[in-house]
Amino acid sequence: MNYIIDQDQQKKILIKLALKRKWRYQIADDIGLSLPTLRKILNSNTPVIVNAKVYKNVNNWIERG
């Protein structure tokens, strides 16, 4: 089953990336994604279709604050 990363989630990732002052590869590691997957999520026009594991990891990371 496919899930959708929307523009709001994309913005939240970018804001946290800036606030934490980390490189994208560090954030990808924190989320549990590969760097190419994180790039796809951040650089693509929304909505971005991802699998369940990626969607779960992204949302869990966003909620952790």
Structure confidence by residue, pLDDT tens digits, 17-45: 999 998 999 999 999 999 999 999 999 99
Contact 42, 1 (CB under 8 A): no
- pLDDT for position 51: 95
Beta pairing partners, 51: 2
Nearest to 31 by CA among 43, 51, 17, 45: 17
**pLDDT tens across 3-20, in order?**
999 999 999 999 999 999
Q: Are the CB atoms for 24 and 17 separated by under 8 Å?
A: yes
Domain hosting 54: range is: 2-64
Q: Is 41 in contact with 5 (CB distance < 8 Å)?
A: yes
User: What six digits make up the tokens of 27?
Assistant: 């954030």
pTM: 0.88
CATH label of the domain that carries residue 24: 1.10.260
Structural domains of the chain, count: 1
* Per-residue pLDDT at 48: 95
